[in-house]
Chains A and B, each alone.
Chain A
């Protein structure tokens, strides 16, 4: 059992998904989804413990060793990201019960939970696999289920935004396949560990290194499309705005994070830091894009009147922070990116879930409809404030921890401009979070209609994430230790 834990992490949610779909009743399907995600959560905790204690876990599927079979290779980075994904999924599935019941028609609940399980399976698969083609397969599993879940939104625009995401996501995935194919032609292998050994040899020989460069470009563009880096983010705001609340909360916290992980894998493990940052000068491309993303998307967020859309644009800006950290290419920088990956998952999950509570009660998340909610839904709005403080980066919250490391990484390079832009980004976050808070707390409701606090089944998961955002903000040692050792293992792979 514990020996096969790596594969069970993926297989259990995968096998439970069709069962949930076949049972086709809301309650049992939810129970199955809960079992699957909590199992994955438990397994991910176990795996991270084992990796921290014993080092990299290599698991050969079906007993076929790496060059012939597919291997799962779990190091600190993958175990950490798997833990984030499964933790958010475990909280999200509890939240989904009530939220889905109010936003999705009864006869589609079972299918929703099946798609949810498949999405968890796909995302976890990407994080732990050590085979690049396997990455593509899991990427498609997670993407296809994501398109289906987004399309379940109430507004008909959910359909068009799912379609838009499908088109852009498939193009991104196809770019990734092209990149993988070019790598395979040059090296004759699909295993990440083998690729990491053979690519430097090919680059050193000078023969065929143009193919490697082209593969690198295809993979970079494909993955950045999936993670919604600034010019390629067009699918994200609509998808997050019109998806059911439970889906938005879960997806905002997981799917782009896994893509960021994939970027780390390709840049540092497969191609190696020397090639990515030395030869291809990634830092010169990623850093400006990240900075533009932070400034432009925060600015756009300020002008939104739909809070889900506001938070979606803010997500694109926050992805900018993660990429900014990675673009330093230093241990502190990459660690900052990884810490922010965790922190953003926690706080954005909390914010979107708070909006889901609002949606549940008043059926809208437009700012002008939220007048006076501070009084009528105190716990929900307090959760929003809690998550919002973290977005801004107030000390004692996780948001502060990531910005602290980011600024440190920037100052270590003597890059004052970048440090200043990180600060400006925080101020802009203050503006867009304040916009909501002002309406909710300082404006009176026009009609005296009776609005109750959101039910506990929604509030408890939301507050679990808010509490986590304070807990890991105060006890920052745990996450930053993991992130720094993850960054060290990524950067150390070259030696």
Chain B
């Protein structure tokens, strides 16, 4: 049975396949790039899901009066975690590293898309079309 507790990963898989299929099947170069972008975006969603802990808050050091360590003013702390941390109550937070990694991946994705689109512009100038089969036909004729 499909496990709905992992629905975000199913969304990742669906997005990834939609992107990949578009990338492979479309002849239009811009559509190919859109497919590539969806494909890359699904990976971003995958990473963000990795970092998420249910009930976790943002990884910010929360000030506390007595201990100098966060005691849950940030809110989302679960009861049993709060009890188990008597001396220095810790805040349950999401792992920030995957999110930070994805900032880099987003930049890379933007750069790839920009370069790809500028290539498409130049291809359009050189061939007068952005349909792959038409480009192949022109190349073979030449």
Binding site for B on A (CB under 8 A): 133, 136-137, 140, 144, 147-148, 151, 156-157, 159-160, 162-163, 166-167, 170-171, 173-174, 177-178, 181, 184-185, 190
Binding site for A on B (CB under 8 A): 20, 23, 29, 32-33, 36, 39-40, 43, 46-47, 50, 97-98, 101, 104-105, 108, 111-112, 115-116, 119-120, 122-123, 126-127, 135, 139
Inter-subunit contact A167/B23 (CB<8 Å): yes
Which B residue's beta carbon lies closest to that of A173?
B108
> A81 to B36, alpha carbons, bound, how many Å?
31
> A171 to B36, alpha carbons, bound, how many Å?
7
Give 4 closest A-B pairs by Cβ, nearest first.
A156-B126, A140-B108, A163-B119, A159-B123
User: Which residues of chain A are within 8 angstroms of B43 by Cβ–Cβ distance?
Assistant: 174, 177-178, 181
Q: List 20 A-B contacts (CB under 8 A).
A: A133-B101, A136-B105, A140-B108, A147-B115, A147-B119, A151-B119, A156-B126, A159-B119, A159-B126, A166-B112, A166-B119, A167-B116, A170-B36, A171-B20, A173-B108, A174-B40, A177-B43, A178-B43, A181-B47, A181-B50
Inter-subunit contact B135/A160 (CB<8 Å): yes
User: Which residues of chain A are within 8 angstroms of B39 by Cβ–Cβ distance?
Assistant: 171, 174
Known interface pairs A140-B111, A144-B111; A160-B104 also in contact (CB < 8 Å):
no
Q: Closest approach, in angstroms, between the C-beta of A471 and any C-beta of chain B? A: 39
> A181 to B127, alpha carbons, bound, how many Å?
40
Inter-subunit contact A144/B115 (CB<8 Å): yes
Of the listed residues B36, B46, B119, B120, the one surrounded by the most CB atoms of chain A closer than 10 A to its CB is B119
Which A residue's beta carbon lies closest to that of B104?
A137
> A151 to B29, alpha carbons, bound, how many Å?
16
Which A residue's beta carbon lies closest to that of B100?
A133
User: Which residues of chain A are within 8 angstroms of B126 by Cβ–Cβ distance?
Assistant: 156, 159
Known interface pairs A163-B116, A170-B40; A178-B123 also in contact (CB < 8 Å):
no
4 additional A-B residue pairs with CB within 8 Å, beyond A156-B127, A159-B123, A173-B108:
A144-B112, A162-B119, A170-B112, A174-B39
User: Which residues of chain B are within 8 angstroms of A157 by Cβ–Cβ distance?
Assistant: 139
Chain B interface helix/strand/loop/mixed: helix
Inter-subunit contact A177/B111 (CB<8 Å): no
User: Which residues of chain A are within 8 angstroms of B46 by Cβ–Cβ distance?
Assistant: 178, 181
User: Which residues of chain B are within 8 angstroms of A190 by Cβ–Cβ distance?
Assistant: 97
Q: Closest approach, in angstroms, between the C-beta of B29 and any C-beta of chain A? A: 6
Inter-subunit contact B115/A148 (CB<8 Å): yes
> A190 to B104, alpha carbons, bound, how many Å?
15
Q: Closest approach, in angstroms, between the C-beta of A73 and any C-beta of chain B? A: 19
User: Which residues of chain B are within 8 angstroms of A167 by Cβ–Cβ distance?
Assistant: 23, 32-33, 36, 116
Inter-subunit contact A159/B122 (CB<8 Å): yes
> A430 to B34, alpha carbons, bound, how many Å?
45
Q: Closest approach, in angstroms, between the C-beta of B4 and any C-beta of chain A? A: 20
> A181 to B104, alpha carbons, bound, how many Å?
13
Which A residue's beta carbon lies closest to that of B46?
A181
Q: Closest approach, in angstroms, between the C-beta of A383 and any C-beta of chain B? A: 31
Q: Closest approach, in angstroms, between the C-beta of A328 and any C-beta of chain B? A: 34
Which A residue's beta carbon lies closest to that of B121?
A159
User: Which residues of chain B are within 8 angstroms of A137 by Cβ–Cβ distance?
Assistant: 104, 108
User: Which residues of chain A are within 8 angstroms of B23 by Cβ–Cβ distance?
Assistant: 167, 171
Q: Closest approach, in angstroms, between the C-beta of A68 and any C-beta of chain B? A: 10
> A173 to B54, alpha carbons, bound, how many Å?
30
> A148 to B116, alpha carbons, bound, how many Å?
10
User: Which residues of chain B are within 8 angstroms of A163 by Cβ–Cβ distance?
Assistant: 29, 116, 119-120, 123
Of the listed residues A148, A151, A166, A174, the one surrounded by the most CB atoms of chain B closer than 10 A to its CB is A174
User: Which residues of chain A are within 8 angstroms of B36 by Cβ–Cβ distance?
Assistant: 167, 170-171
User: Which residues of chain A are within 8 angstroms of B101 by Cβ–Cβ distance?
Assistant: 133
> A156 to B128, alpha carbons, bound, how many Å?
12
Q: Closest approach, in angstroms, between the C-beta of A154 and any C-beta of chain B? A: 11
> A140 to B113, alpha carbons, bound, how many Å?
12
Inter-subunit contact B50/A185 (CB<8 Å): yes
Inter-subunit contact B112/A140 (CB<8 Å): yes
Inter-subunit contact A160/B98 (CB<8 Å): no
User: Which residues of chain A are within 8 angstroms of B104 by Cβ–Cβ distance?
Assistant: 133, 137
Q: Closest approach, in angstroms, between the C-beta of A458 and any C-beta of chain B? A: 28
Q: Closest approach, in angstroms, between the C-beta of B34 and any C-beta of chain A? A: 12
Q: Closest approach, in angstroms, between the C-beta of A102 and any C-beta of chain B? A: 20
Q: Closest approach, in angstroms, between the C-beta of A369 and any C-beta of chain B? A: 17
> A157 to B141, alpha carbons, bound, how many Å?
13
Q: Closest approach, in angstroms, between the C-beta of A362 and any C-beta of chain B? A: 20
> A136 to B101, alpha carbons, bound, how many Å?
10
